[in-house]
Structure 1
Amino acid sequence: MTVVEIPEEHLRAFTKDEINAMPLRRYEGPVHVVRTEKQRDAAVKALREETVLGFDTETRPVFKKGRKPNPPSLIQLASADEVYVFQINLLPMDNGLLELLADKQVIKTGVSVHDDIIGLKKLAKFRPANFIDLGEVSQQHKMQTHGLRNLAANLLGFRISKSAQCSNWAKEKLSKQQVAYAATDAWVSREIYLAMQSLGLV
């Protein structure tokens, strides 16, 4: 691995108080909730034109001890201009969506992507390609911030809300708050990747 000179301000840890003092941001561009085959086909067609996609999944949490984790309910993919939220609990991951996740030409970037992929593989067989884990990149470069919220604070200078994290993602009709939260996670993943790219980390 090439040694990159990272500015000192990006190498340190950030306290909760420091992060909470930062401005709160969320994704404010167009969000498409994908729940029909027609919507899925249009979304995949648009996303195939991109070279870098922010990636995340959301899974209905398990509150009882000893229960197996639920499969993911959503896949979120952020392009340069839009975010697509696929309700994969309602719509199978076929007709191009799996091919997109396996496309070596399209970078998919997020945090803890290995866990997300394990969850998705319970729903469908595919060979994931060109996924970049932002937390792993930050660890390789000896940065002290690894999670999505901390990396956003470190590299983008704002905080994101985690208030909807434990909500019911398997609902047929998602709330506005859930859609905004899900879209923000994918969008921020892409923005962090671009910030890392400008520093020469990826």
Structure 2
Amino acid sequence: MEKTITKEELNQLPLKHFEGRVDVIEDINIIEELVKELEKHDTIGFDTETKPSFQKGKVNQVALLQLATNEKAYLFRLNKTGFHPSLVRLLSNPQIKKVGVGIRDDIRGLNRLVPFKQAGFIEIQDHVKGVGIEDTSLKKLAGLVLNFRVSKRQRLSNWEAPHLSEGQILYAATDAWVAIELLNKLQEEFPHAQAQTI
């Protein structure tokens, strides 16, 4: 496996996105039931989105929490539901691995909503350094490890919009799902490299 990938090489790769079922959750009453579904999995993909702030010193609250399995992505609109206790329970559960790329800021952002003790998180950027991969952005890792491109076009869009667009929904689901795909492929390629939790 290559250690780096150029922009040109990345642009040659096919564009891919999550093709499973995506649920956008705005109803606080169904969160507990959905978390119970997620708790049946031992590994889930994790990411968050925050409305960008173009003002110096102003940081917006996390608006969206994405959790994904191989077949399904759950997009929890925290700006509408709040950070539900059952989600806090899931993110504090050491038995369930939560996998993501560049997740320390995501965890900090969630802690600003409700302080909690995270457990079971795997940072793919840490994991790939252990196997000699030098490019650690999600986009480059998808290219290097999975041989496809993911679009980052929606990253700076308004995650607090009344309704998320189709593009935002696909982007958010893909980011969480790609993390699981990366971990699976890395474990297949480098079976001796242990993924440490943070």
TM-score band, normalised by shorter chain: over 0.9
1:105 to 70, 79, 95: 95
Instruction: After TM superposition, give the deviation of residue 63 of structure 1 in Å.
Output: 1.2
Residue of structure 1 in register with 2:68 after alignment: 78
Distance in 2, matches of 1:28 and 1:106, equals: 23
Letter in 2 for 1:20: N
Residue of structure 1 in register with 2:46 after alignment: 55
Letter in 1 for 2:184: L
Residue of structure 2 in register with 1:41 after alignment: 32
User: 1:61–1:168: 8 Å Cα contact kept in structure 2?
Assistant: yes
User: 2:50–2:61: 8 Å Cα contact kept in structure 1?
Assistant: yes
Distance in 1, matches of 2:73 and 2:107, equals: 19
Cα deviation per residue 1:99-142 (whole Å; 9 max; x = unaligned)?
00000100001011111111011101211001010011112322
2:183 to 180, 193, 201: 193
User: 1:152–1:160: 8 Å Cα contact kept in structure 2?
Assistant: yes
Distance in 2, matches of 1:173 and 1:106, equals: 30
User: What secondary structure, in the 3-state scheme, does the structure 2 residue paired with 1:49 have?
Assistant: coil
TM-score of the superposed pair, with normalisation by structure 2: 0.93
Distance in 1, matches of 2:70 and 2:101, equals: 18
Aligned pairs, how many?
192
Distance in 1, matches of 2:12 and 2:165, equals: 27
Residue of structure 2 in register with 1:4 after alignment: none
Instruction: After TM superposition, give the deviation of residue 94 of structure 1 in Å.
Output: 2.0
User: 1:90–1:172: 8 Å Cα contact kept in structure 2?
Assistant: no
Distance in 2, matches of 1:47 and 1:32, equals: 13
Residue of structure 1 in register with 2:137 after alignment: 147
Identity of aligned residues (%): 37
Distance in 2, matches of 1:88 and 1:75, equals: 7
Instruction: After TM superposition, give the deviation of residue 71 of structure 1 in Å.
Output: 1.5
Q: Which runs of 5+ in 1 are unaligned?
A: 1-8
Cα deviation per residue 1:20-51 (whole Å; 9 max; x = unaligned)?
11000000110000111233122101101000
Letter in 2 for 1:23: P
Distance in 1, matches of 2:133 and 2:103, equals: 18
User: 2:98–2:122: 8 Å Cα contact kept in structure 1?
Assistant: yes
Distance in 2, matches of 1:62 and 1:96, equals: 29
User: What secondary structure, in the 3-state scheme, does the structure 2 residue paired with 1:96 have?
Assistant: helix
Distance in 1, matches of 2:147 and 2:119, equals: 30
Distance in 2, matches of 1:38 and 1:108, equals: 23
Instruction: After TM superposition, give the deviation of residue 81 of structure 1 in Å.
Output: 1.5
TM-score of the superposed pair, with normalisation by structure 1: 0.91
Instruction: After TM superposition, give the deviation of residue 92 of structure 1 in Å.
Output: 1.8
Q: Which runs of 5+ in 2 are unaligned?
A: none
Instruction: After TM superposition, give the deviation of residue 171 of structure 1 in Å.
Output: 1.2
User: What secondary structure, in the 3-state scheme, does the structure 2 residue paired with 1:136 have?
Assistant: helix
Letter in 1 for 2:121: F
Instruction: After TM superposition, give the deviation of residue 190 of structure 1 in Å.
Output: 0.9
Letter in 1 for 2:42: T
Residue of structure 1 in register with 2:19 after alignment: 28
Residue 181 (1) aligns with residue 174 (2): no
Letter in 2 for 1:114: R
